[in-house]
A and B are shown apart, each in its own frame.
Chain A
Amino acid sequence: QKEVEQDPGPLSVPEGAIVSLNCTYSNSAFQYFMWYRQYSRKGPELLMYTYSSGNKEDGRFTAQVDKSSKYISLFIRDSQPSDSATYLCAMSASSARQLTFGSGTQLTVLP
């Protein structure tokens, strides 16, 4: 069993839809949680960063962490075609050297 599980998709939604992306994990030591966005043939870029449990909102994006369930989510409101990318969850216990990535979910937002 992988330490971090992420549904690879692909996921297609119409423009304006609410998108929910999820990851589960098994290591209870993880306390730093990230979502990276990766456009095709590009490097990932950090989208959201959360420490411990709770919610964090940034514009149309909301990150949720439920440590009791070992489950994290990224919600995208009013999705746009420019949101079409692969979304990678990532988490660590204490340092970037220990960062563990999910396999990524490929999202397409149709105009």
Chain B
Amino acid sequence: DGGITQSPKYLFRKEGQNVTLSCEQNLNHDAMYWYRQDPGQGLRLIYYSQIVNDFQKGDIAEGYSVSREKKESFPLTVTSAQKNPTAFYLCASSIQGSTGELFFGEGSRLTVL
């Protein structure tokens, strides 16, 4: 089955710790995205990548970092610099040139204690 796998589904961390969220896709999509979802707010774009070894900041990139060493993988690191990291994180992918048709993973819920 083709799709996007995010792990872990739930993650608890202490303040000041970096955490890395995994995102793997087997849809052969070139583009991948990370969004953050908070209650009462729309999805906000953190980072996106349209090709291997290249990525761009989205609207709320501060305190986050990513890498794109393989087409299938786009991990997100939530650093200690992120002031309010508790949120639901969604990874998505699309074909190159998509106008909005995204395929999402099931999300990772990060809680910082």
On whether the two chains bind one another, the answer is: yes
Interface residues of A (CB under 8 A from B): 2, 4, 6, 8, 32, 34, 41-46, 49, 51, 88, 90-92, 94-97, 99-104
In-complex Cβ contact of B100 among A2, A41, A91 (8 A): A91
B2 contacts A by Cβ under 8 Å = no
Bound CA–CA A65/B33 (angstroms): 26
* Size bin of chain B's contact surface: 20 to 34
| Partner-A contacts on B (CB < 8 A) | 4, 6, 31, 33, 40-45, 48, 50, 56, 58, 90, 92, 94, 97-107, 109
Residues of A within 8 A of B100 (CB): 32, 34, 49, 90-92, 95-96, 99
Interface pair A104/B31, CB less than 8 Å apart: no
Assembled-state Cα–Cα distance A43/B48 (Å): 17
Say yes or no: B48 contacts A103, CB within 8 Å.
no
Contacts of A104 in B (CB 8 A): 42
Given contacts A41-B106, A43-B4, A103-B42, 4 further A-B contacts (CB under 8 A): A42-B107, A44-B104, A95-B99, A97-B31
Q: In the bound complex, what is the Cα–Cα distance between A42 and B37 (angstroms)?
A: 11
Q: How far is the CB of A58 from chain B (nearest CB, A)?
A: 14
Whether B107 pairs with A88 at a CB distance below 8 angstroms is no
Q: Name the residue of chain A whose CB is nearest to the CB of B6.
A: A43
Task: Please report the C-alpha to C-alpha distance between residue A96 and residue B31 in the assembled complex, in whole angstroms.
Answer: 9
Give which listed residue, A41, A44, A96, contacts B99 with CB less than 8 A. Answer: A96
Q: Are B45 and A97 in contact (CB under 8 A)?
A: yes
Complex: how many Å from CA A42 to CA B105? 8
9 A-B contact pairs sorted by A residue (CB < 8 Å): A34-B100, A41-B106, A41-B109, A42-B107, A43-B6, A49-B101, A96-B31, A102-B42, A103-B42
Chain A residue nearest to B97 in the complex (CB)? A95
Partner pick for A44 among B48, B56, B90, CB 8 A cutoff: B90
With A42-B107, A96-B33, A96-B94 already in contact, the answer to whether A101 and B42 are too (CB < 8 A) is: yes
Residues A43 and B42 in contact, CB atoms below 8 Å apart: no
B40 close to A8 (CB less than 8 A):
yes
